[in-house]
Amino acid sequence: MTNPGSVITNRDAMESKIKPVHTIRKFLSGIPLAMVALGDSLTYGWMVDRGCLDFLGDMMRERFPEARFRLIHCGMPAGTAYNGLHRLQRDVLGHNPDCDFVRFGFNDAFCGHTSEEFRDNIEGIIGGIREQTRSEIVPVTSVCLKNEGDNAHVER
């Protein structure tokens, strides 16, 4: 017979590998939390009045009015994982976040960075966050491309 407490612990451990369970718990309980979005122009909201993070914040406030959170925008037009790694201390770690959204790739793919460089920079960002905070990390992908040649490049 399985100990019910260990089942919950195992499930929680498994869930924490695929979603930010501690952030969700804080969010739902009304405990103040800070969420940082580090990324490129899509994160920044380039060339639009309101970017995706503005809409995300609105949706979270509407659905969970009791939640107390700061959504800190640290996107940069023309940003790459390389410069995100070099902005990590200033833009992420200085905010002592509970959760980090990391969104890069589009500029990396089309500005001459190899897939190996991209991987190394993303691993550096994630490693730096893990080493210096207890923040949970949510990788965010960019939109699908409709051109097969571009898709093949991004797939690499």
pTM: 0.81
Kindly state the tokens that stand for 75. Answer: 């996107």
The pLDDT score that the predictor gives to residue 116 is 92
Share of the chain above pLDDT 70, in %: 81
> What pLDDT digit, counting tens, does each position of 83-93 carry?
999 999 999 99
How far is it, in rounded angstroms, from Cα 27 to Cα 25?
5
Kindly state the tokens that stand for 77. Answer: 């037009």
Domain with 79, as residue range(s), is: 4-155
Can you spell out the DSSP letters for 111-147? TT--HHHHHHHHHHHHHHHHHH---EEEE---PPPS-
Tell me the pairing of strands 69-75 and 136-139.
unpaired
3-state secondary structure of 105: coil
Confidence band (pLDDT; 50, 70, 90) for 16?
A: low
CB 82, CB 125: distance < 8 Å: no
| H or E element at residue 70 | strand 69-75
CATH of the domain at 33: 3.40.50.1110
Min mean pLDDT across 47-51, 79-83, 119-123 is at: 47-51
Domain count, the chain: 1
